[in-house]
Amino acid sequence: MSGPDDAPRPLAPDRPPPSARIPPRPPYRIEDGTYLIELSLRRLPQLFNSLDPSPFHEKDLDPDADAYLVGAARELGHKAPIKLVIHLPADELTWADKSRVGEAIHNYFDYRRRSVQRDLRLSFRRGRISLAIGLVFLIVCMTLRELVLTLPTEAFSRALAEGLVILGWVAMWGPLQIFLYDWWPTAQTAHVLQRLAEVPIELRRLDE
């Protein structure tokens, strides 16, 4: 059973001097103009979900490692060049090379990207259906409004007519929210996952 010390830990920050080309963004180090997203591990399996029975190169990442990598890539932005550096003890490096750890990480984030993009397509499909329903409902409300305005009781008819207008536009809020606001955070997440699915990965010896 893994303990608190088994969770992947970001490498302690080493603040570099300011770069003339890319401004430093603590706590990420810069090498040759590239921001380093670093993990320090005692054992390679710490990086992966121990409950996942899949073959090694198809395993899910540990939730803490996933959250750190996604958060770091999101924080650095889509323009900053990045590299993932994994620090391991010397006796783990050879096994890590043979285990194709880089391929496993890329496969994981590519799978997550495809899953998020599928959710985005489903959201747009739901939005189109909701928009069609909302438009029909709005037309019905506007038609009823015109009929209500013909009622002899003027005060009551005007109040009911205005209520129908409000009700019709409230029904439009759901699809409008999908197309105006809900889609872009999901699209941004898909872009971050795409970056991590292609990020250069380097294994380095952990300084004890």
The tens digit of pLDDT for each residue in 104-134 reads 899 999 999 999 999 999 999 999 999 999 9
Q: 135 and 89 in one domain?
A: no
Residue 48 to residue 64: CA distance in whole angstroms = 10
Q: 135 and 102 in one domain?
A: no
Domain count, the chain: 2
Q: 87 and 54 in one domain?
A: yes
Q: 101 and 128 in one domain?
A: no
Does 24 map to a domain? yes
Segment 28-42 shows an average pLDDT of 90
- Kindly state the tokens that stand for 156: 């009551």
Sign of CA dihedral 113, 115, 121, 126: negative
Q: 149 and 66 in one domain?
A: no
Query: For residue range 83-98, what is the model confidence (pLDDT) as tens digits?
Result: 999 988 888 887 777 7
Query: pTM score > 0.85 for this model?
Result: no
CB 196, CB 73: distance < 8 Å: yes
